[in-house]
Structure 1
Amino acid sequence: MLNRVVFIFFLLISLHSCKSNEYQKIEGTAQGTTYTITFSGGEKPYLKNAADSIFKVIDHSMSLWDSTSIISSFNKNATSQQIDAHFKNVLLKSHEIYKLSNGAFDPSVGPLIKAWSFIRKNDLPLPNAKTIDSLKQFIGFEKVSLVGSKLVKENPAIQLDFNAIAQGYTVDVVAEHLDKLGIENYLIELGGELRSKGRNPEGKSWKVGIEKPTNNETEEQNELQLVVTLDNKGLATSGNYRNFIQTEGNHLSHILDPKTGRPVAHNVVSVSVIAPTGMEADAWGTAFLVLGKEKSIGIAQKLGLEFQMVSGSKNGFEVFQTEGFKKLVQ
Structure 2
Amino acid sequence: MPFKILLLLCLSASFGWDSTPYRTLQGQAQGSTYRIIYEDKTSADFSKSIDSLFQLIDASMSLWDSNSLISRINANKNLGPFDAHFEEVFIKSQQISKNTKGYFDITVGPLVKAWGFSKTKGFASPTDLQIDSLRKLVNYKNVSLKDGGITKKYPEIQLDFNAIAQGYTVDLIAEYLTKKGISNFLIEIGGEVRAKGKNQQGEFWKVGVENPSDENKLQAILALNDKSLATSGSYRKFFLKDGKKFSHAIDPHLGRPVSHNLLSITVLANDCATADAYATAFLVMGLEKAKLIAQKQKIDFFAIYEENGKIQTYSSEGFKGAKLD
Equivalent residue for 1:297? Answer: 291
How far off is 1:315 after superposition?
3.1
How far off is 1:127 after superposition?
2.3
2:236 alignment partner, SS class? coil
Equivalent residue for 1:213? Answer: 212
- My pick for the range that moved more, 180-189 or 111-120, is 111-120
Equivalent residue for 1:193? Answer: 192
How far off is 1:214 after superposition?
3.7
Structure 1, residues 251-305: CA drift from partner, whole Å, max 9, x if none?
2101111000001131111000001110010000011112222221222223322
Q: Is the 8 A contact 2:16 2:201 kept in 1?
A: no
Equivalent residue for 2:171? Answer: 172
Equivalent residue for 2:301? Answer: 307
C-alpha change, 1:122 and 1:328, in structure 2 (3 Å) is: closer
- My pick for the range that moved more, 93-102 or 81-90, is 81-90
State the distance in 1 between where 2:118 and 2:18 align. 52
How far off is 1:87 after superposition?
0.7
One-letter amino acid of the structure 2 residue matched with residue 169 of structure 1: Y
State the distance in 1 between where 2:76 and 2:43 align. 41
One-letter amino acid of the structure 2 residue matched with residue 213 of structure 1: P
Equivalent residue for 2:252? Answer: 258
Structure 1, residues 106-137: CA drift from partner, whole Å, max 9, x if none?
01001001111269645344223211001001
State the distance in 1 between where 2:136 and 2:118 align. 20
One-letter amino acid of the structure 2 residue matched with residue 39 of structure 1: Y
C-alpha change, 1:223 and 1:328, in structure 2 (3 Å) is: closer
Q: Is the 8 A contact 1:306 1:322 kept in 2?
A: yes
State the distance in 1 between where 2:132 and 2:40 align. 54
Equivalent residue for 2:220? Answer: 226
C-alpha change, 1:116 and 1:214, in structure 2 (3 Å) is: farther
Gaps of 5+ in 1: 216-220
C-alpha change, 1:119 and 1:93, in structure 2 (3 Å) is: closer
Q: Is the 8 A contact 2:54 2:169 kept in 1?
A: yes
Structure 1, residues 9-55: CA drift from partner, whole Å, max 9, x if none?
11112232463643221111111111111111355663111111101
Equivalent residue for 2:6? Answer: 7
How far off is 1:222 after superposition?
4.2
State the distance in 2 between where 1:114 and 1:233 align. 33
State the distance in 2 between where 1:36 and 1:71 align. 26
Equivalent residue for 1:324? Answer: 318
Gaps of 5+ in 2: none
One-letter amino acid of the structure 2 residue matched with residue 328 of structure 1: A
Q: Is the 8 A contact 1:120 1:246 kept in 2?
A: no
2:104 alignment partner, SS class? coil
State the distance in 2 between where 1:233 and 1:113 align. 31
Q: Is the 8 A contact 2:261 2:305 kept in 1?
A: yes
How far off is 1:225 after superposition?
1.8
Structure 1, residues 171-230: CA drift from partner, whole Å, max 9, x if none?
000000011111100010001000011111122211111111249xxxxx5432221111
Between Structure 1 and Structure 2, how many residues are aligned?
A: 324
**Aligned CA-pair RMSD:** 2.1
Equivalent residue for 1:218? Answer: none
Correspondence 1:281 to 2:275: yes
State the distance in 2 between where 1:119 and 1:51 align. 28
How far off is 1:151 after superposition?
1.2
